[in-house]
Structure 1
Amino acid sequence: MTSKLYDIDFYAWTLEQSQLLQEGKWQSLDITNLVEEIESLGKQQRQELRNRLGILIGHLLKWEYQSEMQSKSWKATIREQRKEVLRLLKENPSLKSYLGEAITDAYESGLALVVRETPLDYPQLPLECPYSTAQILDPAFPEGL
């Protein structure tokens, strides 16, 4: 029944699994799907970090490469995304070991954001992320923000 419930009513399945855990009914747990869902939760944290870094890096690029267009909105986005990245890292310290890889992956998203939202095109932008991890996370970077 547990496995079928997972397929037909995920929310009810989560309630059931939670109750079984609280009651210590280990034999009744849907271990296969529980493992999959727990792994998925970890992947979601990594994805959220990449997404937020992509937006942050994209706006840092816009800020630098379209300085004449700098706006209050860009500044707010940079601050908001940086705050959320730092919150994620604080709440999930083990994500710090993934940060370098996340920045590399997020840079592609950041480039796509710039190309989509500005007149700039890929050849006008660096092939690799021009910002260090410290710069990306530094609330005082870039100067004048």
Structure 2
Amino acid sequence: MSLAKDKPYYTHPSDYEDDVYAWAFEQAQLLRLGRFSEVDLPNVIEELESVGREVKSLIARAYRDLIAKLLEWEAQTSSRTRENAKAILDARITIEEEEREAKSLRDGAERIVESVYPQAVRLAAGATGLKRENFPAVCPFDLAFLRDLDAMPSDMPLTD
């Protein structure tokens, strides 16, 4: 029983509930060292699933915000500002970066767009003061357009 492996690697391990940051690094180190019996497996599993949900949520928010800004851009001349153009580009860059790392979500992007479209319409309606009925019932933008860093609706120019 004098083997080093018999002695816990961390004499005072971090508690998942108290310091998830320190806990995460400790769990990673335990896995690297092959000390599987010391790993807080239920919480590691929960955190891994949480990371997946977080990435999907980030991509969904980026699509939602992108579509809302594009709808605003089309609906009102006053929405064609540099600030909105920057927001459109920023959302597209986020989508590009995240989909590069999560190919399964890239493959399922059409479902994501369908699911966030009603929220995007609600945001665009709130920003423009128009009724939701003034916007198309289904997303008028295809994935190629949404992912194109340089595309703008009908190439409408900036107003400012």
Structure 2 residue runs without a partner (length 5+): 1-11
**Do structure 1's residue 66 and structure 2's residue 67 form an aligned pair?**
no
The residue that corresponds to 2:128 in the other structure is 118
- Residues in 1 aligned to 2:98 and 2:31: alpha-carbon distance in whole angstroms: 27
Q: 2:55 aligns with which of 45, 65, 69?
A: 45
Q: 2:86 aligns with which of 61, 76, 80?
A: 76
- Residues in 1 aligned to 2:18 and 2:86: alpha-carbon distance in whole angstroms: 42
- Residues in 2 aligned to 1:18 and 1:142: alpha-carbon distance in whole angstroms: 46
For residues 48-106 of structure 1, the C-alpha deviation after alignment (integer angstroms, 9 at most, x for no partner) is 00000111000110111113541111111111111111111112222212201111122
- Residues in 2 aligned to 1:99 and 1:21: alpha-carbon distance in whole angstroms: 33
Cα shift at 1:109: 2.2
- Residues in 1 aligned to 2:38 and 2:78: alpha-carbon distance in whole angstroms: 62
Cα RMSD after superposing both structures:
1.8
Question: Please, what TM-score do these two structures have when normalized by structure 1?
Answer: 0.89
Count of matched residue pairs: 144
SS at match of 2:136: coil
Q: 1:24 aligns with which of 11, 18, 34?
A: 34
User: As a proportion of its length, which structure holds more helix?
Assistant: 1
- Residues in 2 aligned to 1:49 and 1:137: alpha-carbon distance in whole angstroms: 12
The residue that corresponds to 2:144 in the other structure is 134
Greater radius of gyration (CA): 2
Kindly tell me: are residues 68 and 7 of structure 1, through their superposed partners in 2, closer, same or farther at Cα, counting changes over 3 Å?
closer
**Do structure 1's residue 33 and structure 2's residue 43 form an aligned pair?**
yes
- Residues in 1 aligned to 2:49 and 2:67: alpha-carbon distance in whole angstroms: 27
Kindly tell me: are residues 69 and 34 of structure 1, through their superposed partners in 2, closer, same or farther at Cα, counting changes over 3 Å?
closer
- Residues in 2 aligned to 1:143 and 1:130: alpha-carbon distance in whole angstroms: 12
Question: Please, what TM-score do these two structures have when normalized by structure 2?
Answer: 0.81
Equivalent residue letter for 1:83: I
